[in-house]
Amino acid sequence: MNSMSKLTGLLRNRAAFTHYKQWSPRGLRTFATETGKFEPEKHKIQKGFGLVVVNEKFCDSSKFENLVSANGDKKNVEEFCQSANIEIVNDPNLSTHDLKANEMEDLFNTISKKDFSSYDAFICFISSHGIYEGICGIDGKAIPKDKILQPFKNCDDLADKPKLFFINSCRGGKKDTGVPQSKAVADHAHPIIHPFEADILVAFSSVDGYTSYEKDELGSGSVFITELTKVFKKHAHNMNLTDMLTIVSKKISEGKFQLANDESLSPEEYKQVPSFSSTLRKAVYFDVSEPNHQACVVQDG
């Protein structure tokens, strides 16, 4: 093939490629091809299995203060779960709050052995102190993220179903002071084997190594869980999960925060931005009704 033919073919392919970029007004990305449009497969969570772990009262030996935002986080999460038909674990023989690190690990191992066959997804919310090594129990010891996720990766009942983790905790001691900006700117013949690491989303309140903050108002919840549930309540009826998390990141990154309950520190204001990683293979939606704006007024975002 001569150079002119190669150039002609390249330009033809490039012209075809420009048809791929499309944007749906509700955030679901679509791709146009010569044969039609492709949209990611949707997965609606009509019945979810929920686990809420909240550590509020820390041992004196842990060197952590009690988590004043814990009750607010618990309330916000429970309200959303009720609206989205997510059944929260409520077993009198199973403690889910104020757990030591080894008790947290035991809890996740126990829950992973439950029967999830009638559920569309597993959803876990965690609110606690944390350090670089992981999420802390009330004894101050940390459990790594992998020990939380691992039990659910091997669960047959959750294969091909979303496994969602929303974790509010510090991830280290770094303080984000921000960067000044000078100007505004079907059917198969053979058994299906799903990837071991597939269909997992983990959303953290901050970036690896950085601090997370609580709300200024006593008992109102953490910055992350408060904004997360607020966005869910407003947009979950017509927006997929990862797009909602992008909104959460933007809203929190626009705020300024101070360390709570420590008068010895200067009142310097810091920034915070959540992060999430995802191996989801479908666009995940919650099955909720459009909010009644007369009964529940929510700020934009």
CATH number for position 252: 3.40.50.1460
What's the number of domains the chain is made of? 1
What's the CA gap between 53 and 40, in Å, rounded?
32
Residue 55 lies in a domain: yes
What's the CA gap between 209 and 175, in Å, rounded?
9
Q: Residue 128 to residues 101, 199, 214, 243: CA-CA distances in angstroms?
A: 11, 25, 11, 25
The pLDDT of 78-99, averaged and rounded, is: 94
Nearest to 222, CA basis, from 265, 154, 173, 169: 169
Residues 52 and 91 sit within 8 Å (Cβ to Cβ): no
Instruction: Quickly list H helices, 112-186.
Output: 145-153
Residue 70 lies in a domain: yes
What pairing do the DSSP bridges indicate for beta strands 200-204 and 142-143?
unpaired
Q: Is the pTM of this model over 0.85?
A: no
The pLDDT of 296-301, averaged and rounded, is: 36
| Residue whose entry in the numeric block shows the structure tokens 């104020």 | 98
Check residue 282 and give left, alpha or beta (phi > 0: left; psi -120 to 50: alpha): beta
Q: 36 forms bridges with which residues in the sheet?
A: 33
Structure confidence at residue 138 (pLDDT): 96
Residue 9 lies in a domain: no
Q: Which domain holds residue 213?
A: 41-173+195-260+268-286
Q: Mind listing the pLDDT tens digit for each residue in 125-160?
A: 999 999 999 999 999 999 999 999 999 998 999 999
CA 231 to chain centre: 12
- DSSP code of residue 174: B
What's the CA gap between 250 and 227, in Å, rounded?
10
Residue 6 lies in a domain: no
Take residue 162 and report the two structure tokens written for it: 């979303």
Residue 295 lies in a domain: no
Residue 111 pLDDT more than 90? yes
Residue 93 lies in a domain: yes
Q: How many residues does the chain have?
A: 301
Residues 171 and 208 sit within 8 Å (Cβ to Cβ): yes
Nearest to 62, CA basis, from 136, 126, 127: 136
The pLDDT of 9-34, averaged and rounded, is: 45
Residue 184 lies in a domain: no
Structure confidence at residue 17 (pLDDT): 39
Q: Give the pLDDT band of residue 39 (cuts 50, 70, 90).
A: confident
Residue 22 lies in a domain: no
Q: Residue 166 to residues 38, 53, 200, 203: CA-CA distances in angstroms?
A: 29, 10, 11, 5
Q: Mind listing the pLDDT tens digit for each residue in 152-209?
A: 998 999 999 999 999 999 988 888 777 665 544 444 455 667 787 889 999 999 999 9
